[in-house]
Structure 1
């Protein structure tokens, strides 16, 4: 049984009087894979912004880790150091650097001003880069500039860069967007594999992709949880059909 890693309770946030998140409660264990779906404006991005410290909620609690520490009031960088990694929709990789260099820069190392200056290649670091390249299907591309990669491969490189930081929670925003069917299949495998040892939250519109993840699904609507359970359970829920499938 996985232990709770992250718990949001009674979280609300308003922008100019509009409640983007409305008394939201959510929890995820470690390890666990979870998909989050919902119509546009359901609060999916704001939900991730709250977890990563980008947006401060008006009320509620966001508790993290074995000791249940509060993430509220912590800076974005402090939250990242706690082990929360986030991948945005558009891949942000260093295009002029090789895949290997991108992964090396992302490795979990001491991050002081002198540490970065006197970065030394270590045997363990090199092994870790090989492991991540294998996991993300980029072994044959390690010496290529990241700018030459396909859209799907750039997405994988960015997932690899997050894995290099060894996060306990990985938040991934619409990973399947713009991918070929083969790339989507590889991405599914990658996320399922990553979730064996950590918590992974995937925000996605593509229902077929979510079905292939074969995990618990949380449906957001108007800033709160509308339904939760297997993909079959939530897609047969009359309320979900009404708001999401528009039937």
Structure 2
């Protein structure tokens, strides 16, 4: 397992509020990591900084074997480095079929002519079938995305990200609004994806995090409060005080 992403000494202030405070996190490849913490802990800002949506005031964000800095790169340039992000609300093309959604997301040559004249290849078709099986939608390929359940749309969006073959997948609260059965299946999808890449899951549902069975990072006031197994961090007195002991957590 090698280091893929290193966030070091990063701070970010918005209108006098320090959302990220000397934050340092290292993500390996492959790895499954859960990030938890109370509202305002800096979880979303952390993802915004990694994906280039927000620029930190100070600190380093280093990527890959060549220790490339991600700071100063656009969101598109960072995505092209192999960083995919899934937001809480699924964004799929509702009028297109599941197969078409996955086909549009496949890592193919970009540009107007490449897209215009790109023909379906046997390799592309096989890859779509492979991803559909991985996300549990093999029997839904001909359905339009708008007909899918909330959970199925979440899986389709994860599949669309996997089609781009990212090395790091950032997933924001995937269990929100799901049935117990859908949450269980989502756990399996993420665990499988993390066998060959880094997957970072930001989540509030502690039962879901327990099922992920992975290293957990607890954020509080923009920095790492505790890190380790879920049992380890939930036994930490500071975590209990600032997160688990709160009625609004």
SS of alignment partner, residue 56 of structure 1: coil
2:244 is equivalent to residue 245 of structure 1: yes
Equivalent-residue separation in structure 1 for 2:117 and 2:50 (angstroms): 33
Deviation at 1:143, TM superposition (A): 0.1
1:113 and 1:9 map into 2 onto residues whose CA distance is 39
Quote how far apart the aligned CAs of 1:129 are: 0.3
Matched, 1:115 2:114: yes
Whole-angstrom CA distance in 2 between matches of 1:168 and 1:222 = 28
CA RMSD of aligned residues (A): 0.6
**Which residue in the other structure is 1:82 paired with?**
81
Q: Deviations over 1:27-68 (max 9, x none)?
A: 010000000000000000000000000000000000000101
2:27 maps to: 28
Aligned to 1:220: 219
* 3-state SS, counterpart of residue 158 of structure 1: helix
Q: CA deviation at 1:11?
A: 0.2
Q: Which residue of 1 aligns with 2:42?
A: 43
CA distance in 1, matches of 2:82, 2:37: 26
- Report how far residue 98 of structure 1 moved: 0.1
Deviation at 1:166, TM superposition (A): 0.2
Deviation at 1:246, TM superposition (A): 1.8
What displacement does 1:117 show?
Answer: 1.2
Paired with 2:174 and 2:101, the residues of 1 have a C-alpha distance of 19
Provide TM-score, normalisation by structure 2. Answer: 0.98
Alignment map for 1:172-211 (pairs within 5 Å): 172-211=171-210
Q: Deviations over 1:108-163 (max 9, x none)?
A: 00112211111210101000000000000100100000000000000000000000
**How far apart, in 2, do the equivalents of 1:49 and 1:119 lie?**
32
**Number of aligned residue pairs:** 246
Q: Which residue of structure 2 aligns with residue 99 of structure 1?
A: 98
Aligned to 1:165: 164
Gaps of 5+ in 2: none
CA deviation after TM superposition for structure 1 residue 245, in Å: 1.1
Q: Can you list the C-alpha shifts for 1:150-208, whole angstroms capped at 9, x where unaligned?
A: 00000000000000000000000000001011111110000000000000000000000
Tell me how far apart the structure 2 counterparts of residues 126 and 25 of structure 1 sit (CA, whole Å).
Answer: 41
TM-score when scaled to structure 1?
0.99
